[in-house]
């Protein structure tokens, strides 16, 4: 169990980037009391410090909010991805394998992650209770998918069991109702659906439609009626992207073939794009990937390269998500560099990974910025990400990670306390 964060802490002498998109503060500071941000601003202007406050000199490095990855799969292994291997594993083994990945993700600077298929309420509780170090988790349990869609990992000749760790099948609004209520009953914080086919599902293509608009609308309505839960749509081809946006989803995941028609609708409705460029830019391993998956992946990487920068240029709201699990775990902040390569400003990319991601998750009142009253999720990163955003993607540059005021990584011993978690 992490010790409760009782000692007040003043992190000072850093470049403060608070996640709001406001001007960075040179020689900035953050005061953390009881796991909460009490104050943030120029060091010279800090308020009176509570008795016993520990002062931590961050030596000119950068103070940032903890990052938020809106698209991970803790149950999936990374680049050596094979659904056949996953399907053959006992559930308990998948869970044990997820534990070090969760730690790795936290140490990469991600203090909150949304798992869009594979992790269940046990993963979330293991972190909440302090049993395992990891990012605060939001879970979708499994991806809902039509038969033969992106959540249907059966080989074409296989007519056997339909549900798997990652996918759960439903066809038509009536079955969609049952399926969405099923994942909500299992504690889903959000709902993941397949609005198109995908790369790793054996019997479809990324531009095949998944759920149709009436099915998607059914799901978004039911989710909204459960304390405003949001729906994330895996959507790669243009037709499915449009079905998803018209059906009322909160985010288009991947969005590789996004076009002006979809962009117009998303701007009108405030729909987020989570472009998962980390996985888009990860080359498939020809030794591991099935030939059909390899061919799909190579083609759709190019589709993403041509369409995503246009969506960025037109100002679609972007939240950071990596699809780590399909891409390698633990280097999540590479995504920020990819976003800048697609035309975002470094500050825009930092917002996508903090305050904008918090908006998408419905948690902007708790996380995503370093403002009074927010949870004290704080990252100290080496150097200045506004001049070298790519440095954040190398975990050795993430010097300190604090979640709810508790340090989980402290490579230089800045806190003066050993980290043994
Ligand atoms: Zn995914």
Do 45 and 156 reside in the same domain of the chain? Answer: no
- Whether 398 contacts 383, CB under 8 Å: no
Residue 264 Cα, ligand 1 centroid: separation in angstroms?
24
Do 142 and 219 reside in the same domain of the chain? Answer: yes
> Which residue, among 189, 186, 197, 145, has the nearest Cα to 168 in the 3D structure?
145
pLDDT digits (tens, 9 = 90+) for 141-187: 999 999 989 988 877 777 666 677 788 999 999 999 999 999 999 99
Residue 72 Cα, ligand 1 centroid: separation in angstroms?
6
Do 61 and 85 reside in the same domain of the chain? Answer: no
Do 377 and 357 reside in the same domain of the chain? Answer: no
- Judge whether 313 lies within some domain: yes
The yes-or-no verdict on residue 23 having pLDDT over 90 is yes
- Judge whether 420 lies within some domain: no
- Classify residue 329 by its DSSP letter: T
Q: What is the pLDDT of residue 1?
A: 44
Residue 107 Cα, ligand 1 centroid: separation in angstroms?
21
Do 110 and 40 reside in the same domain of the chain? Answer: no
- Judge whether 224 lies within some domain: yes
Do 373 and 225 reside in the same domain of the chain? Answer: no
Do 101 and 15 reside in the same domain of the chain? Answer: no
The upper half-sphere exposure of residue 160, i.e. CA atoms within 13 Å in the direction of its Cβ, equals 7
Residue 175 Cα, ligand 1 centroid: separation in angstroms?
22
- Judge whether 177 lies within some domain: yes
- Judge whether 35 lies within some domain: yes
How, if at all, do strands 110-115 and 136-139 pair?
parallel
- Whether 202 contacts 156, CB under 8 Å: yes
Residue 259 Cα, ligand 1 centroid: separation in angstroms?
21
Q: Where a domain ends, among 321, 336, 361?
A: 361
pLDDT digits (tens, 9 = 90+) for 239-264: 999 999 999 999 999 999 999 999 99
Cα–chain center distance at 88: 26
Do 254 and 329 reside in the same domain of the chain? Answer: yes
CATH number at residue 22: 2.30.40.10
pLDDT band of residue 80 (cuts 50, 70, 90) is low
The yes-or-no verdict on residue 293 having pLDDT over 50 is yes
Residue 418 Cα, ligand 1 centroid: separation in angstroms?
35
Residue 323 Cα, ligand 1 centroid: separation in angstroms?
5
Q: Where a domain ends, among 361, 384, 401?
A: 361
Overall domain count for the chain: 2
Residue 9 Cα, ligand 1 centroid: separation in angstroms?
37
Do 238 and 191 reside in the same domain of the chain? Answer: yes
The yes-or-no verdict on residue 416 having pLDDT over 90 is no
Tell me which residue range forms the domain holding 394.
9-66+368-410
Do 106 and 17 reside in the same domain of the chain? Answer: no
- Judge whether 419 lies within some domain: no
Whole-angstrom distance, CA of residue 182 vs CA of residue 369: 33
- Judge whether 418 lies within some domain: no
DSSP, collapsed to helix, strand or coil, labels residue 165 as coil
> Which residue, among 16, 19, 20, 44, has the nearest Cα to 30 in the 3D structure?
16
Residue 4 Cα, ligand 1 centroid: separation in angstroms?
34
The least confident of 4-8, 42-46, 306-310, 380-384 is 4-8
The yes-or-no verdict on residue 8 having pLDDT over 70 is yes
Which residues lie below 8 Å from residue 100, measured CB to CB, with a gap of 6+?
A: none
CATH number at residue 133: 3.20.20.140
pLDDT digits (tens, 9 = 90+) for 368-409: 999 999 999 999 999 999 999 999 999 999 999 999 999 999
Do 21 and 141 reside in the same domain of the chain? Answer: no
Q: Where a domain ends, among 361, 380, 397?
A: 361
The phi, psi pair for 138, rounded to 5°, reads -110, 140
The phi, psi pair for 219, rounded to 5°, reads -70, -45
Do 377 and 301 reside in the same domain of the chain? Answer: no
- Judge whether 417 lies within some domain: no
């Amino acid at each position: 169990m992490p010790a409760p964060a009782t000692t007040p802490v003043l992190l000072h002498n850093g470049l403060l980037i608070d996640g709001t998109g406001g001007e960075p503060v040179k020689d900035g500071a953050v005061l953390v009391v009881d796991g909460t941000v009490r104050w943030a601003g120029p060091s010279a202007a800090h308020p009176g410090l509570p008795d016993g406050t520990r002062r931590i000199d961050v030596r000119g490095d950068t103070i940032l909010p903890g990052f938020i990855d809106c698209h991970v799969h803790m149950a999936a292994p990374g680049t050596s991805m094979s659904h056949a291997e996953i399907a053959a594993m006992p559930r308990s083994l998948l869970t044990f394998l997820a534990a070090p990945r969760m730690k790795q993700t936290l140490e990469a600077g991600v203090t909150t992650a949304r798992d869009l298929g594979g992790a269940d309420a046990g993963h979330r509780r293991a972190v909440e209770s302090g049993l395992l170090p990891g990012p605060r988790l939001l879970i979708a349990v499994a991806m809902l998918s039509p038969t033969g869609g992106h959540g249907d990992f059966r080989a074409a000749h296989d007519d056997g069991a339909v549900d798997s760790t990652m996918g759960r099948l439903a066809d038509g609004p009536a079955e969609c109702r049952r399926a969405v209520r099923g994942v909500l009953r299992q504690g889903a914080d959000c709902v993941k659906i397949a609005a198109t086919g995908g790369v790793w599902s054996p019997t479809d293509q990324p531009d095949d439609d998944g759920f149709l608009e009436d099915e998607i609308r059914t799901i978004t309505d039911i989710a909204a009626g459960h304390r405003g839960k949001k729906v994330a749509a895996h959507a790669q081809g243009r037709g499915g992207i449009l079905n998803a946006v018209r059906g009322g989803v909160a985010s288009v995941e991947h969005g590789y073939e996004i076009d002006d028609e979809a962009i117009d609708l998303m701007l009108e409705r405030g729909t987020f794009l989570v472009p998962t460029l980390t996985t888009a830019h990860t080359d498939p391993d020809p030794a591991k990937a099935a030939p059909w998956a390899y061919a799909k992946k190579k083609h759709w990487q190019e589709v993403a390269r041509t369409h995503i920068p246009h969506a960025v240029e037109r100002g679609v709201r972007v939240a950071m998500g990596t699809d780590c699990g399909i891409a390698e775990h633990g280097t999540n902040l590479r995504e920020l560099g990819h976003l800048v390569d697609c035309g975002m400003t470094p500050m825009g990319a930092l917002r996508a990974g903090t305050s904008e991601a918090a908006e998408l998750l419905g948690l902007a009142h708790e996380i995503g910025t370093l403002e009074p009253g927010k949870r004290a999720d704080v990252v100290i990163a080496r150097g200045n990400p506004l001049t070298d955003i790519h440095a954040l993607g190398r975990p050795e540059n993430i010097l300190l990670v604090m979640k709810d005021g508790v340090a989980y990584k402290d490579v230089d011993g800045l806190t003066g306390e050993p980290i043994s978690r």
